[in-house]
Structure formats: structure tokens, C-alpha cells
Amino acid sequence: MSALGFGCWAIGGEWQTLDGQPLGWGKVDDEESVRAIRRALDLGVTFFDTADTYGTGHSERILGRALGKRRDQVVLATKWGNVFDADTRTLTGADDSPAHARRALTASLRRLDTDHVDLYQLHLSDADPERAAELRDTCEEFVREGLIRGYAWSTDDPARAAVFAKGPHCTAVQHTLNVFHDAPELLALCEEFDLASIDRSPLAMGLLGGRRGTRPEPGDIRSAPPAWLPGFGDGSGADPAWLARVDALREVLTSGGRTLAQGALAWLWARSPRTVPIPGFRTVAQAEENAGAMAKGPLTTGQLADVDRILGR
């Protein structure tokens, strides 16, 4: 699998919570999403991460359509645990039961137009660890049935990730990792259990792509940021303090002819040999730029130290 994956949250389009909080990234052009995925494939990207909830099933459908006959060339990851209403594009709750896991997997396979998922991930980051141990066993059943190849928990909590890591076919942890948000305990856990670190929000949700103070469009989660989403203030645009940190890092991240986004990905590869960044995208241009980071490789150890010094770590 490629050193870089593509994150398919944004291409799901708009969806929201029951009280109207946007959960998507605003409007998307499905034809552009399909072109971007195919361009990524042509450029050597062979890992794609989605979830049943992204656009309440839409992201999975678009990914399945874009891959078509090339499905077997890629490692396909999706997630389960949330419950949604596709008619109203609304997240309605969560379900951590084994019965729901099976229902959700069946539905994802249909939308993705495939007979197996390569990496099946629990999307409930704060799920009860005892219940998760049961779900880990359910995933082992799915492996035996040939419905999935491996599984992971998408969580920032090392203790929870360790519950899944004990399963023989747990192959990864998905967690937040970017220049601003280090995760040494999770990286150590990946080392200990021989897991991949699948890195979400590698571009700090656009800040490390160079997004400046422009107001995100309504329907974009960054226009009404939930408490867990840093860097976008009250939703009127990127926070000036965060932009100042981006500016301070610009010189080191854009070394070696890299763009800022490519530098942010290069930091992740330098951080650990286990990292697999999964930047989101909405356009062919972003797909080309992000895929282009692979040829430029990781930052040097000295540059990693420069980043820590600049950020006062």
C-alpha cells in the first residue's frame, strides 16, 4: 500500500447533526471527486479511507464508483458505529452493538460495490472499552468470513487503541497526527503491536494547506466548529494565532521545492516510519499536489527538530 492514503470525508458532501450542526465540508462536485480519485490512482495512491457516515453513505458510493474495476488495486478502509438517516442526510445517533456492526458492514459493502473491506474501523472514538473488546471479537468473525481483511479503532486514546491492538487481525490505529498535534504514546503503541498509524487531519483541516482567513461556506463544518476542532475560532475564518504558527513554519515545510501541504505530509513521514497520512481533498488539483508529496519524501531529522523549536516544544 502507498505511503499516502486519501481521506474521503469531504467528498461525501453536506450532512448534519439533528440540531443542524454541519458535519460535511460544504458542497461538492461528484464528477470532480471521481476525477480526483482516478487521478490519485494514476499517481500511485493505493489507500483510501472513508466512513459510512460521510455524506450519510454518499462518500462510499462515490469511492466505489470511481474505483470500479480497479478496486483490487487498492486497500479500502471504511468505518462504522454511527447511525444516520440518508433521506435527510442527518446523523441520528450511535450504536455499539455487534448486530449493528454486521448491518453496517453489509450496507457499506453494497455502497462500495465490493465483497470485502480491507480495513474496518470503529468510528466511536470514546466507546466503552469492554464493549469494544466484544466488537474486536466480532471483527475477528468478519475476518474468518472473508468480509474484512483487518480492523482498527479510530481513537486518540492509547488505552482504547490497546484494547483493539490485542486482536490478531488488528492492523492499525487511526488517530489525529499533524505538525501541531503530536501523539507519541500512540506511535509507541503502533511500534509495540506492529500497527500502522493512519493519520487523520494531517493538514490540520486545511490550515496546513494554506487556507487563510476566508469565511468557510455555510454547510462546511469549519463555519460552525465543534469544540474538538481547533484553529477556526468562531467560524468566521482561520484563527490568526494559528495562521501565525503556519507562517513561522513555512520556510522549513516548503524546503526542497515542497508546497506547504507537501511539507506537512513530509513532517508525518519523518515523525515515524509507521505513519500513513490520509489528507482530505475535493479537487483534482489537491489530489495532484498531495500525491506529489510522495516523490519528495520525509523531512530530515534536523528539520523535525527545527519544527519543535519553532513551536516551542
Ligand X SMILES: NC(=O)c1ccc[n+]([C@@H]2O[C@H](COP(=O)([O-])OP(=O)(O)OC[C@H]3O[C@@H](n4cnc5c(N)ncnc54)[C@H](OP(=O)(O)O)[C@@H]3O)[C@@H](O)[C@H]2O)c1
Binding residues for ligand X, rule: CB under 6 A, are 7-10, 25, 49, 79, 123, 125, 154, 174, 200-206, 209-211, 261, 278-282, 286, 289-290
Nearer to ligand X, 234 or 301 (CB): 234
Collect all residues with Cβ–Cβ distance below 8 Å to 30 and sequence separation of at least 6.
Answer: 11, 13, 62
Give the type of residue at 231. Answer: G
Which is it for strands 90-94 and 82-85: parallel, antiparallel or unpaired? Answer: antiparallel
Minimum distance from CB of 134 to ligand X (Å)?
Answer: 20
Minimum distance from CB of 144 to ligand X (Å)?
Answer: 25
Residue 17 in grid coordinates: 447533526
Look at residues 21, 19, 17 and name the one whose alpha carbon lies nearest to residue 56.
17
Look at residues 95, 86, 9 and name the one whose alpha carbon lies nearest to residue 50.
9
Minimum distance from CB of 27 to ligand X (Å)?
Answer: 11
Contact between residue 170 and residue 193 where contact means Cβ atoms under 8 Å apart:
yes
Minimum distance from CB of 68 to ligand X (Å)?
Answer: 20
* Cβ density class 13-41: b for 16+ within 10 Å, e for less: bbbbeeeeebbbbbebeeebbbebbbbbb
Minimum distance from CB of 64 to ligand X (Å)?
Answer: 15
Nearer to ligand X, 129 or 210 (CB): 210
Nearer to ligand X, 73 or 214 (CB): 214
Nearer to ligand X, 146 or 227 (CB): 227
Q: Maximum distance among all alpha carbons in the chain?
A: 52
Nearer to ligand X, 208 or 305 (CB): 208
Nearer to ligand X, 7 or 298 (CB): 7
Nearer to ligand X, 92 or 144 (CB): 92
Collect all residues with Cβ–Cβ distance below 8 Å to 172 and sequence separation of at least 6.
Answer: 119, 121, 150, 152, 190, 195, 196, 197, 198, 276
Minimum distance from CB of 7 to ligand X (Å)?
Answer: 2
